[in-house]
Structure 1
């Protein structure tokens, strides 16, 4: 079944593939119905694109299985949309064709997050096939716009908080990764994500560099300067005040880091790089989990095909994101970014027009690792994988 799910190009970023996303949501809904779950597809409205067009958002699945008042209720969250994937991005296999290589499965969504959603469905199926009573009531929240910022989801959750979600005791998310490829992990926190666009607009049309190069202030030059001002070569964010709300490290956290086994060589091989900026596990963990980071993702409006096109774009848009940690406020981060870029832009004394906007914002979170559901998860992992791992074989990770 995973191969069938991976084959659906449910890319939520590209509007022209929205029908594929909706189809994937309906496929997941049908699988839940086959379990005997009560499945509801909720309409969450429309999305307005940057060009002004409106496009329907895919429905969100709310499903429930079991309503025993003596049992706790666990809600599983997952998503069935994916990020864009093309062979030229570095895929060694067709991204929408599930391929097995040396026992590993490769395909867009196999890990994030179609595979985990199917794992929960298969787990329930196993209970039913063995005629074993499921010890909890189960609810499912499955969406198709997570990769695009979970558009419409917050409003639906708010609407259903006193109804569908009113009796939920625990929430489980299986949309994370392990620090190691050999040891299981429990994630107890994630950084948030504030996504920005920086638009620099010049004249009314693209120009030829052979005709006017050297006499106009080029939007691309302004944009490159702005993007270059955001972060230094060591990954330190240069926006004033961005680290002000980061809580100092505690001794308890430092001790937790010391207990985590970490193979630096294996980690670099797994992510496909020769070197990383930091060399001790404490530095690496803190910059992965405990400190904000800034990444530049792309430029829209610039020529990117092979070959040379000697054009001066009239309008370019840079895209970057800041992964913020708990206690950082999204609104404050947005103000800090806008003020900083506007100051840098004014120093260039450019006649072009600058527009900075936050396109998407997700809050960070961190949980208590001693919470009952984490204790239950530890026991479940040990019991399920005991034949493969021994000793102190799993770690707690904060992303």
Structure 2
């Protein structure tokens, strides 16, 4: 380990240069204009994997209609490094697509140009979610090759370009390859989440699911002037705002009847798990640059982040949002919201409850507008067995690199593929985060600290070595 760790430290500027290359590729999967950029990012990975003698297999999941345009879905890139039957085989997953980002959103610089500040923070869209983690697996292989050190495990890779847009097509590929390409896999590792705070590493054993909806209200055949038609027509925006206000209260309580029915009660033993976690209210205040948290103690904050379902309102498409005044009545508006679900909650039940409730509320308006409710994506929650050797190996690796025993955490975000891997392959799945809680994934000024990136490469290295002999 000392020899490999020294090599990684000596080559950190090279790793940051390569990170800058991939951040510069605006691989925004949810924007049709950037579809070729997503494909280009996948091609970059294939090129690097080929350079490192990783054999690749490319899956083309099919097509989708996005922004009114039919597009090919980005390729799912599978890779194999090592086929020794005497070694364990670890499947690593990551995604190469990113969330949208514009400088006008509030970024302090171009979001697709990697910038390092005097504190060693590397700013750029996708820097922590998920480009630094995904390319770090390649640098682990490269370090072993350069030092002529045998990698003690076989590695299977699964890298996709649609995670930020529902992972369309991926589940079918995983189930199709479960008894073929993935047949030799012993365990799964995903590095696509974050530490609980900013100082102490963790391993993650649970994630919430997600159900994402759009609520479309349409009425007039075209946009109208409010001075001429205000008060004479049912306005789509008025209906939409009313309906969205019925979904969730200002204190975060979901108002849809029956939504909490499947949530398991919290046990006394579960309460104890939250006592010693390295987290404080101050940590979340720093992460959000504000103090407007709903709850006042760390247990309640973490319970509502990990353990209970939440509903968030995300935006309204079709409404006027530019500077100045515009007295328009939009002909059609689309509200966007999502529900983060927890174990025991089923996506199909959530969809039925949401649809029924909105239709009932809309009927009360006696509006002549038309309503369409669409579920864009859905994925269930996931929980893993923390007693598996996969978790023991990750914990030992953290102790080796950081000199500290990690926290065991759940997380509020959603990576639906975790449960797919667990169910399709019948293998233990682990989340091993590289970034910190304040990295700002999905937000403006997303970053990863230089130290987290470089020490993260060492962590993935140590993890693979620990896996080779963990019991």
TM-score by length of 1: 0.96
Distance in 2 between residues matched to 1:266 and 1:71, nearest whole Å: 41
1:83 is paired with a residue whose SS is: coil
Distance in 2 between residues matched to 1:130 and 1:253, nearest whole Å: 45
Distance in 1 between residues matched to 2:208 and 2:280, nearest whole Å: 23
Distance in 1 between residues matched to 2:391 and 2:146, nearest whole Å: 27
Distance in 2 between residues matched to 1:58 and 1:270, nearest whole Å: 32
Distance in 2 between residues matched to 1:385 and 1:123, nearest whole Å: 17
Name the counterpart of 2:78. 62
Distance in 1 between residues matched to 2:299 and 2:331, nearest whole Å: 45
Name the counterpart of 1:84. 100
> Could you tell me how far 1:271 is from its partner in structure 2?
2.2
Name the counterpart of 1:38. 55
Normalized per residue, the structure richer in helix is 2
- Contact 2:31–2:66 (Cα < 8 Å) also in 1: no
Change in Cα spacing, 1:50 to 1:338, as seen in structure 2 (3 Å) is farther
Distance in 1 between residues matched to 2:317 and 2:185, nearest whole Å: 42
Counterparts of 1:1-399 in structure 2 under 5 Å? 1-49=18-66, 51=68, 53-101=69-117, 102-386=119-403, 390=404, 392=405, 394-399=406-411
RMSD value, Cα: 1.1
- Contact 2:96–2:159 (Cα < 8 Å) also in 1: yes
- Contact 2:32–2:67 (Cα < 8 Å) also in 1: no
1:259 is paired with a residue whose SS is: coil
Q: Deviations over 1:170-210 (max 9, x none)?
A: 11110001111111111111101100000011021111001
Distance in 2 between residues matched to 1:329 and 1:362, nearest whole Å: 9
In structure 1, runs of 5+ residues without a counterpart are none
1:36 is paired with a residue whose SS is: coil
Name the counterpart of 2:416. none
2:233 is paired with a residue whose SS is: coil
Query: Structure with the greater relative contact order (CA < 8 A, sep ≥ 6): 1 or 2?
Result: 2
> Could you tell me how far 1:261 is from its partner in structure 2?
2.1
- Contact 2:243–2:362 (Cα < 8 Å) also in 1: yes
Worse overlay, 130-139 or 109-118: 130-139
Distance in 2 between residues matched to 1:152 and 1:304, nearest whole Å: 34
> Could you tell me how far 1:50 is from its partner in structure 2?
5.5
1:205 is paired with a residue whose SS is: coil
Distance in 2 between residues matched to 1:231 and 1:204, nearest whole Å: 31
Distance in 2 between residues matched to 1:61 and 1:328, nearest whole Å: 31
- Contact 2:91–2:187 (Cα < 8 Å) also in 1: yes
Distance in 2 between residues matched to 1:35 and 1:264, nearest whole Å: 44
Q: Deviations over 1:331-386 (max 9, x none)?
A: 01000000000111111111111111111111110111111101100000110122
Distance in 2 between residues matched to 1:62 and 1:385, nearest whole Å: 31
> Could you tell me how far 1:304 is from its partner in structure 2?
1.4
Alignment: residue pair count:
393
Q: Deviations over 1:218-255 (max 9, x none)?
A: 00000000111000011010000101111111222211
> Could you tell me how far 1:161 is from its partner in structure 2?
1.3
Distance in 1 between residues matched to 2:301 and 2:385, nearest whole Å: 22
Distance in 2 between residues matched to 1:144 and 1:127, nearest whole Å: 27
Distance in 2 between residues matched to 1:49 and 1:15, nearest whole Å: 6
1:26 is paired with a residue whose SS is: helix
